[in-house]
Amino acid sequence: MVREQFYFAFRNRKVVGGLSVILGLLVLGLVAPLFADYGPNEYVGPPAAPPSGEFLFGTTTFGQDVFLQFTTGLRSTFLVGVLGGGIAALIGMTIGFVAGYRGGLLDEVLNMLTNVVLVLPALAVLIILHAYLGIKSIPAQALFIGAFSWPWVARAVRAQTLSLRSREFVDLARLSGMGTMRIIRREIAPNMSSYLLLTFILLFGGAVLFAATLDFIGLGPTESVSLGLMMNNAVHWSALHLGLWWWFVPPGLGITAIVGALYVTNVGLDEVFNPRLREM
């Protein structure tokens, strides 16, 4: 079964194209900064220089290397996507599995908690948290994002678990004396593996967009370099009015490429996992 899915995945142009873009940007973000002899915020060139052989993406109004900032920002973008999406997936899937399998009062309590977090204005809460606590690092930002991105996952996983908990193989596992978490881990979760993978990809893209929004409005970690913070600095220092398109276009295209490639990959994997949608 797994071998068959790999076969159709490598034949699916959406999966191959999306993963190629994601892996290409990931490799660029990991490798390119290693060859730089200076940091992304150091003043190393003439101010506001256009793209050239020496500075591929030009420089900022302070003489900073935009290409180095871009590649360093790719690292931050992937890191916050993995951490934020992973935290949201862990919380949402755990609550969804437990609520759907156990039912009863526990299900009602967890469902009420999910609904409370779901109706909270996440951006407004994050602004308040930033004002009192501050976001000093990318992991802290990812933690905040993950803490408010899980409710829809919990509801979706709960619905899937409700349909699986009455199946014969689950009843057999229950009669054999397996505990709740073991049944969820060994019997229910594997039968939802493809759905869980697609869910994580959506959470990954959502975390990237959320982080870019926070960085752009000045609520991200100012001590690091990110694509959203690059756009924030470009707007703050009037790059658009000065015609410094090479300062704000690359980070915008980078975010669009990552999120777009994730979406295309998600659609392609949906076709791979669903034979009715599969391209023959």
CA-CA-CA-CA torsion sign (29, 150, 188, 98): positive
Q: How many Cα neighbours within 13 Å face the side chain of 75?
A: 15
Residue pair 69/225 in contact by the 8 Å Cβ criterion: yes
Give the pLDDT of residue 276: 67
Give the pLDDT of residue 2: 66
Give the pLDDT of residue 136: 75
| Residue-wise pLDDT tens digits, 209-229 | 999 988 888 888 877 889 999
Give the pLDDT of residue 19: 94
Compute the CA torsion angle 83, 87, 93, 96 (nearest 10 deg): -150
| Residue-wise pLDDT tens digits, 46-79 | 999 999 988 999 999 999 999 999 999 999 999 9
Q: Where are the alpha helices (DSSP H) in 53-137?
A: 66-102, 104-119, 122-132
- Residues of the chain where predicted confidence (pLDDT) is lower than 70: 1-2, 275-280
CA-CA-CA-CA torsion sign (18, 22, 25, 31): negative
The residues facing 65 across adjacent strands are: 59
Kindly write down the DSSP assignment for every residue of 238-271, as one continuous string.
THHHHT-HHHHHHHHHHHHHHHHHHHHHHHHHHH
Residue pair 258/209 in contact by the 8 Å Cβ criterion: no
pTM of the model: 0.90
Residue type, 32: A
Considering only CA atoms, which of 214, 196, 201, 215 is closest in space to residue 154?
196
Considering only CA atoms, which of 230, 198, 197, 195 is closest in space to residue 211?
230
Residue pair 260/267 in contact by the 8 Å Cβ criterion: no
Residue pair 145/210 in contact by the 8 Å Cβ criterion: yes
Q: What is the 3-state secondary structure (H, E, C) of 23-58?
A: HHHHHHHHHHHHHCCCCCCCCCCCCCCCCCCCCCCC
The residues facing 59 across adjacent strands are: 65
Give the pLDDT of residue 238: 87
Give the pLDDT of residue 24: 96
State which H helix or E strand residue 230 sits in: helix 227-236
Q: Which distant-in-sequence residues (6+ apart) come within 8 Å of 112 by Cβ?
A: none
**Domain covering 63-273 assigned CATH 1.10.3720.10 in the classification:** yes
Considering only CA atoms, which of 247, 206, 243 is closest in space to residue 227?
247
Give the pLDDT of residue 278: 59
Delimit the domains of the chain by residue range: 63-273
Give the pLDDT of residue 104: 86
| Other CB atoms within 10 A of residue 242 CB | 12
Cα(100)–Cα(94) distance, integer angstroms: 10
Give the pLDDT of residue 273: 84
Q: Which residue has the tokens 């990812």?
A: 142
Q: Buried b vs exposed e over 8-36: b needs ≥16 C-beta within 10 Å?
A: bbeebebbeebbebbeebeebbeebbeee
